[in-house]
Structure 1
Amino acid sequence: MIFKPTQLFDGVQFHDDKAIRVVNGKVAEIVTYYHEPCIELDGVMVPGFIDTQVNGGGGALFNHETTLETLQKMVKAHAMFGTTSLLPTLITSDIAKLQEAAEIVSKAIKQEIPGIAGVHFEGPHLSIVKKGIHNSQHIRKITEDELKIYCRNDLGKVMVTVAPESISPAQISYLVEHEVIVCLGHSNAEYEDVVKCIEAGAIGFTHLFNAMSQLTSRDPNMVGAALSDDRCWTGIILDGHHVHPAVAKVAYRAKPKGKLILVTDAMSTIGSQQQAFHFDGHQISLAQDKLVSHTGQLAGSALDMISAVNNSRKMLNTSFAESINMASRYPAQLLGLATSIGQIAVGADANFVLLGQESNGEYHVKNTWIQGEQFY
């Protein structure tokens, strides 16, 4: 199968005269001259988006319906907005739910369900002070039981969000030794304690600025550590509600190129007509373009990835290429998957998105392919 878009952005440069040959779900060849019939595509083709924090989609939440069907609904829903790889995210739960989620993700990986790159355990090892809508009854320090789950080798890429208050540097090092991606968040920790976690191997921060100790003139705290350490990636929710555009711009300028990545923290409403749902005692409603609990708290987001890309261009004044990379190439680097996803290159998965442009300059998703199969 050969695809010939009007323009191709491969993650590094733009091409106006290239066609992509796909064989067995992989990019087999990128050519200028071809003599076989091809699929002509009107638009710019870019690498598929990668979302490392996805709580749900298609009307289903991974916490509520921890099944293969839910994972497939999530992939289908987010493919509508350009996501081709995601980490289904389990929000703070008891040990039984963690084990159940691990078993389902293991099955998805074994069955090679397209779009599932691994799993993100956001909690339960957080700070109650910065819990957000997470259930305080389940927030706890990490134990051997959880470590065994996170260190399984059949879950794809495993990411955990932890607070320094609930885990030791030695435990972080143990996780890293077992190839777990350790991110920090939902924490009221002081700067010095955050730095100890980074030195132990933590390499990321979950939804920068939100649910973490803030930067002040005398106390850098977690935000200060996230912005000042060039080794760490930081996810950011660019929906205009979680972070003020001016604050987001400060983060973009502070972080080295490639270290600020777009995430959605999306809930079940994405790709569905759902307007409200219950979660752990919270009645959550969709109010225009944000999700709010009956307590007034933000509760995840109603953000999709193409909107995050458009918002990056508007809020941060990033180039089109940089906005795409923040949604694809850079998260692939965080996950250690940069040779297989996040770019359009020979040998990589045939994960790509065809974009059209509106009269106002914003982009929309026309088609999405995952491993060469059209999902939207």
Structure 2
Amino acid sequence: MSRKAITGARIFDGTFWHQESALILADGRIEALRPAASLPSGIETIDAGGGMIVPGFIDLQVNGGGGVLLNEEPTVEGLRQICAAHAKFGTTALLPTLITDTYEITSKTVETGKRAKAEGVPGFLGLHLEGPHLSIARKGAHDPQLIRPMQEKDIELMLSCKGVFGAMMITIAPENVTADQVTRLSQAGFMVSLGHTDTAYETAKDYAEAGTRTVTHLFNAMSPLGHRQPGVVGAALDIGSLYVGIISDGIHVHPAAMGVALRAKKGPGKIFIVTDAMSTIGTDMKSFTLNGREILRQDGRLTLADGTLAGADIDMISSVRFAHRALGLPVEESLRMASTYPAEAAWLDGRKGALKAGFDADFVLLSDDLGMKSTWIGGMKVHQE
């Protein structure tokens, strides 16, 4: 058994801080947290050199990174590059996300995901299919010509993933997916998420009862909160069973709206951070192509030529900093929004999202001012600043 101890930093386990303690790793998992002064003799010790050790970030919506967009490169190497790009910013588990595309591309991506899982690509958790079963009225940057109703062949393709991935997610709109289809997917272990939909509060509630687990990028591409028609935003905040993703960049959602949502959210479901990142992360790219359309990068925004937002140009540690600094959230809560809460949403809270005995040894070493130092996945260092 390979054992090592990480010392020399404060440790945040997801709930409490541990001072002058060591994180003991064994065979890719956390063995224990214990006082650094009482380590077993002969154990390999690594001095973190100050700062803090925190749970690895979990991103449930990542369209691309490192110059790769999943839609344009649905290959194992493409998935590997996306995961590696986000590991540089503290993400230790992610769902590469396929934006609305043809059945052929979706099918190819699913098969590629199965191979990536079999090969153990570091950080690869599973897939998020964002479409094509959305509302044209709330399409955002999705190609309306590719949006369509869910068919039996789509269900069968997704059911072929049962038990294969650590997590699997699909964003749907009631306009193109029935409640019975949601139930079938939910019972197979899918996180079914409401998004890109103009549906009413009452329908959203019915779909939550049918098995919907989450809501995709709150406020964006959905029916807004009105005082007579609460819409999907109202449902997301009012229905306690729903977990809710939000883009923490100050562009997709105004900080004041983020604050209102955080104060209003009924539990036990929580609001968690997603990046909705595109291929630009970790690169100096100025533009890229999605479904044959050029996406422009300028001033932190990614847009179509008409100004429609097309994903986000932000990474996970930057999102955590924004939540802490712009919203005034305690650093602990900002970190939980990027780790503990997405783990809960994805039913991974017995394995990931905290630093506890028996959990995967996925963690990030940060400086005291939330600067990146290193990223560890399964007890292995995958990135060093």
| TM-score, structure 2 normalization | 0.94
Helix, strand or coil for the counterpart of 1:317? coil
| Alignment-mate amino acid for residue 147 of structure 1 | I
Once the two structures are superposed, what CA deviation does each residue of 1:129-164 show, in whole Å capped at 9, x if it has no partner? 100111111101101111112222223311000001
Out of 144, 155, 165, which is 2:152 matched to? 144
Out of 102, 113, 123, which is 2:121 matched to? 113
Whether contact under 8 Å (1:227, 1:255) holds in the other structure is yes
Whether contact under 8 Å (2:29, 2:361) holds in the other structure is yes
Extract unaligned runs of 5+ from structure 2.
Answer: none
Once the two structures are superposed, what CA deviation does each residue of 1:5-52 show, in whole Å capped at 9, x if it has no partner? 420001110011211221211112222111344111121000000000
| Alignment-mate amino acid for residue 124 of structure 2 | I
- Report the Cα distance in structure 1 between the residues aligned to 2:259 and 2:300, rounded to whole angstroms: 21
Which residue number corresponds to residue 249 of structure 1?
259
- Report the Cα distance in structure 1 between the residues aligned to 2:169 and 2:295, rounded to whole angstroms: 26
Which residue number corresponds to residue 78 of structure 2?
70
Aligned counterparts, 1:73-88, within 5 A: 73-88=81-96
| Alignment-mate amino acid for residue 334 of structure 1 | A
Aligned counterparts, 1:42-57, within 5 A: 42-57=50-65
Which residue number corresponds to residue 210 of structure 1?
220
Helix, strand or coil for the counterpart of 1:182? strand
Whether contact under 8 Å (1:151, 1:179) holds in the other structure is no
Does residue 237 of the first structure (1) align with residue 247 of the second (2)?
Answer: yes
Could you list the structure 1 runs, at least 4 aligned residues long, displaced by more than 4 angstroms after superposition.
none
Out of 81, 89, 97, which is 2:105 matched to? 97
Does residue 9 of the first structure (1) align with residue 12 of the second (2)?
Answer: yes
Shift of 1:108: 1.3
Does residue 325 of the first structure (1) align with residue 336 of the second (2)?
Answer: yes
Whether contact under 8 Å (1:188, 1:213) holds in the other structure is yes
Aligned counterparts, 1:222-371, within 5 A: 222-256=232-266, 259-358=270-369, 363-371=370-378
Does residue 25 of the first structure (1) align with residue 25 of the second (2)?
Answer: no
274-283 or 65-74: which moved more?
274-283
Q: CA RMSD in A?
A: 1.2
Once the two structures are superposed, what CA deviation does each residue of 1:262-283 show, in whole Å capped at 9, x if it has no partner? 0000000101222211112322
Whether contact under 8 Å (2:239, 2:266) holds in the other structure is no
- Report the Cα distance in structure 1 between the residues aligned to 2:165 and 2:350, rounded to whole angstroms: 19
Helix, strand or coil for the counterpart of 1:326? helix
Whether contact under 8 Å (1:172, 1:202) holds in the other structure is yes
Aligned in 2, Cα 1:374/1:144: closer, same or farther, shift over 3 Å? same
- Report the Cα distance in structure 2 between the residues aligned to 1:87 and 1:37, rounded to whole angstroms: 33
Extract unaligned runs of 5+ from structure 1.
Answer: none
- Report the Cα distance in structure 2 between the residues aligned to 1:332 and 1:91, rounded to whole angstroms: 22
| Alignment-mate amino acid for residue 305 of structure 2 | H
Once the two structures are superposed, what CA deviation does each residue of 1:28-80 show, in whole Å capped at 9, x if it has no partner? 22221113441111210000000000000000001100011111111111011
| TM-score, structure 1 normalization | 0.96
Whether contact under 8 Å (1:349, 1:371) holds in the other structure is yes
- Report the Cα distance in structure 2 between the residues aligned to 1:253 and 1:29, rounded to whole angstroms: 34
- Report the Cα distance in structure 1 between the residues aligned to 2:8 and 2:317, rounded to whole angstroms: 19
- Report the Cα distance in structure 2 between the residues aligned to 1:5 and 1:77, rounded to whole angstroms: 27
Shift of 1:201: 0.8
| Alignment-mate amino acid for residue 224 of structure 1 | G
Helix, strand or coil for the counterpart of 2:9? strand
Shift of 1:288: 2.1
- Report the Cα distance in structure 1 between the residues aligned to 2:328 and 2:377, rounded to whole angstroms: 29
What is the aligned-residue identity percentage?
42
- Report the Cα distance in structure 1 between the residues aligned to 2:185 and 2:299, rounded to whole angstroms: 40
Does residue 164 of the first structure (1) align with residue 174 of the second (2)?
Answer: yes
Once the two structures are superposed, what CA deviation does each residue of 1:114-142 show, in whole Å capped at 9, x if it has no partner? 21111100000000010011111110110
- Report the Cα distance in structure 2 between the residues aligned to 1:211 and 1:68, rounded to whole angstroms: 30
Which residue number corresponds to residue 40 of structure 1?
47
Once the two structures are superposed, what CA deviation does each residue of 1:346-375 show, in whole Å capped at 9, x if it has no partner? 1111100001134xxxx1111000111111
Aligned in 2, Cα 1:97/1:155: closer, same or farther, shift over 3 Å? farther
Out of 118, 122, 142, which is 2:130 matched to? 122
Helix, strand or coil for the counterpart of 2:106? helix
349-358 or 250-259: which moved more?
250-259
Shift of 1:343: 0.8
Out of 56, 64, 69, which is 1:61 matched to? 69
Whether contact under 8 Å (1:47, 1:353) holds in the other structure is yes
Helix, strand or coil for the counterpart of 1:369? strand
- Report the Cα distance in structure 2 between the residues aligned to 1:206 and 1:17, rounded to whole angstroms: 39
